[in-house]
Amino acid sequence: PPLLLMYLGRLATFAFWVACVGYAIRILPFHQWTLSWISLLPASLFLHASLTADSTTNGLAFLLIAQILNISFAGTSFTRKRAALILSLSLLITINKVVYAPLILLLFFLTKDQFGSFRKKVFSLGAIFLAHAIVLFIWYQYAGDLFIPADDY
């Protein structure tokens, strides 16, 4: 039954968003209550309880920002595991909505000490940006033909 599938989809997207935001709140080094307050706004709850890709995008964006802030302000280092997590999150967000791609620029706020050296910082950021460029190029080669201009409706 389509109605049941729609409600299950709404429940799944809302549960995914709650899990992402809950984890983001837990790892934020400061302003946990601010993110809690923003996520509990009625418009936010209404949007994220609907069947839309925005729930996934916003949940992953909150998680990406929280990860970068955690590295930046909690005194943790930029390890390969964190690099893989940040790369995965940012690629998922960017493929879903390209306008969120500038979130990856938050990595420039990290210091060379968090990477170990300036050389590692340049290499890590370069690899992340190169991966984004390659994935976006491949994605647009594949999905570019799927776009329908408004005049063709």
pLDDT for the residue 68: 92
How many independent structural domains does the chain possess? Answer: 1
How far apart are the C-alpha atoms of 151 and 107, rounded to whole Å?
39
Q: Does residue 110 form part of some domain?
A: yes
Q: Does residue 152 form part of some domain?
A: no
pLDDT 10s digits, 46-95: 989 999 889 999 999 999 999 999 988 887 788 889 999 999 999 999 98
- Which DSSP category does 63 fall into? H
How far apart are the C-alpha atoms of 115 and 133, rounded to whole Å?
22
From residue 47, how far is each of 5, 115, 135 by CA, in Å? Answer: 18, 37, 28
**Please, which pLDDT band fits residue 36 given cuts at 50, 70 and 90?**
very high
How far apart are the C-alpha atoms of 118 and 113, rounded to whole Å?
8
Cβ contact 55:93 at 8 Å: no
pLDDT for the residue 113: 87
Q: Which range marks the domain in which residue 85 is found? A: 2-146
Q: Does residue 28 form part of some domain?
A: yes
Cβ contact 12:49 at 8 Å: no
Q: Does residue 151 form part of some domain?
A: no
At 13, the amino acid letter reads T
Q: Does residue 16 form part of some domain?
A: yes
Q: Does residue 61 form part of some domain?
A: yes
How far apart are the C-alpha atoms of 87 and 80, rounded to whole Å?
10
Q: Does residue 47 form part of some domain?
A: yes
pLDDT 10s digits, 112-127: 888 888 999 999 999 9
As a whole number, mean pLDDT of residues 129-140 equals: 91
pLDDT for the residue 150: 79
**Please, which pLDDT band fits residue 146 given cuts at 50, 70 and 90?**
confident
Q: Does residue 97 form part of some domain?
A: yes
Count of positions (residues) in the chain: 153
Residue listed under structure tokens 């950021």: 125
Contacts of 152 (CB under 8 A, 6+ apart): none
pLDDT for the residue 132: 92
